[in-house]
Structure 1
Amino acid sequence: MWDRIEPLMPADPVRGRRWANHRRTLEAIAWKYRTNSPWRDLPNELGPFQTAHKRLIRWALDGTWEMILTALLAAADADDDIDWTVSLDSTVIRAHQHAAGARKRGRPSGEPADHALGRSRGGLSTKVHLAADGHARPLAFTITAGQAGDAPAFETVMSRIRIPRVGPGRPRTRPLAVLADRAYSSRAIRSYLRRRNIRTVIPQPSEQVGHRLRLGGRPPGFDSEAYKQRNAVERCINRLKQWRGLATRTDRLAIAYQSALHLAGHFIWTRR
């Protein structure tokens, strides 16, 4: 696994101090999110916790975590190992009390104003929106406050499916089909997929069916057999939640939590 990730890691700076050992730092970050332990409980053999935490944030700000995942996806696409029947869904992540209290002013670049934390009847929570390929592996993520709806985040997730070609050619951004549940059944989403010539496999909720029958409109096409493959995104969510630090959010910064999602994606894709 490390043999596949090592060539993608940032090179040492030309001037100044050299990076601490990349492999040990990566293992330290992975250990923290696999166990959901506090940073200060990091084992001594994994180095200072300050080094691991600073590296997590630094690479979140410069986009390193996302670039590594993109490179792994590009290699998989070159091997024709991505199933382009894509499923979309979201999952609500309960936020620990330690996730609250981040500064509203002076937040890092790219950090949302609400830190992707929302308060509802169940308390603080974050919602992870993701797209998975047909083999239950993540292709793209975005996070919002827990009370946010699924449909408004649809185009954001789709826009992050952008896999470069290893050789010449433009990045691939268009799946063969998109499978999603009734929460994504809207005229705007269906029009978006139709414009991009993407096959739509989304059932209609009962109120939309009743409204259509009253107006006498035609039903949208729906392949119930293909819809059975939507369980891929549910299985992908289960894979991610095996990391206890992803199943419960303790990060104050949204960019830190999203970087941990990308790191989990690295581990999933390097096992292919």
Structure 2
Amino acid sequence: LSEYVFLSSEIRAQLVEQQKCLEQQTEMRVQLLQDLQDFFRKKSEIEMEYSRNLEKLAERFMAKTRSTKDHQQYKKDQNLLSPVNCWYLLLNQVRRESKDHATLSEIYLNNVIMRFMQISEDSTRMFKKSKEISFQLHEDLMKVLNELYTVMKTYHMYHAESISAESKLKEAEKQEEKQIGRSGDPVFHIRLEERHQRRSSVKKIEKMKEKRQAKYSENKLKSIKARNEYLLTLEATNASVFKYYIHDLSDLID
């Protein structure tokens, strides 16, 4: 019984520790996701700022070039490989880079960050669900252990009663043997009144023995049945404990 009390308190303590472990794991995951959001939000700002600076850079030199004679020549001979054409190709490339960085900024802001937010919400929701499942699994396990405790207590009670009844039966058998031994004395040495007393005592002892034999048989049968039920319940409890620690708990932590 003391082992049961220890096991129950141990399982409760482990449940608290498991809940803390799950909570810490979730907090770490949520914090990491928050850091990733902050990182990509800042990266989005940098990409957008870089895009604007590239656009300003390209526009600045485009505006400067448009006012020159070379710009008119560029319009006429766009397919020729001239220094002016190369210059315009470079500026156009910068403008495309500007658009690419702007697009990347929007992807970070509208896709990547939003996805991390969803994962964070899912993690929090999964933790709450895991906590509920963990609590229910623990309650189911404690229910099985309580049932084992009840069956074990019943078996110990019947076993103790059986031992007590057996002890009383043996005591009655000794009294009977002693009385029978006394009855074996020569009859002529015993007075008539004493003979009647001995016969009466023998009958009383026989009746007491019969009652104690019946009581012992009854308690022995109860003890055997209780022991069988205890062993079956113990096997079922061991299976439940094994399932809880090997499968259920592992699935929750994963």
TM-score, shorter chain, exceeding 0.5: no
The structure that is strand-richer by fraction is 1
> Shorter-chain-normalised TM-score: which range?
under 0.3
Larger Rg: 2
Give the structure-1-normalised TM-score: 0.20
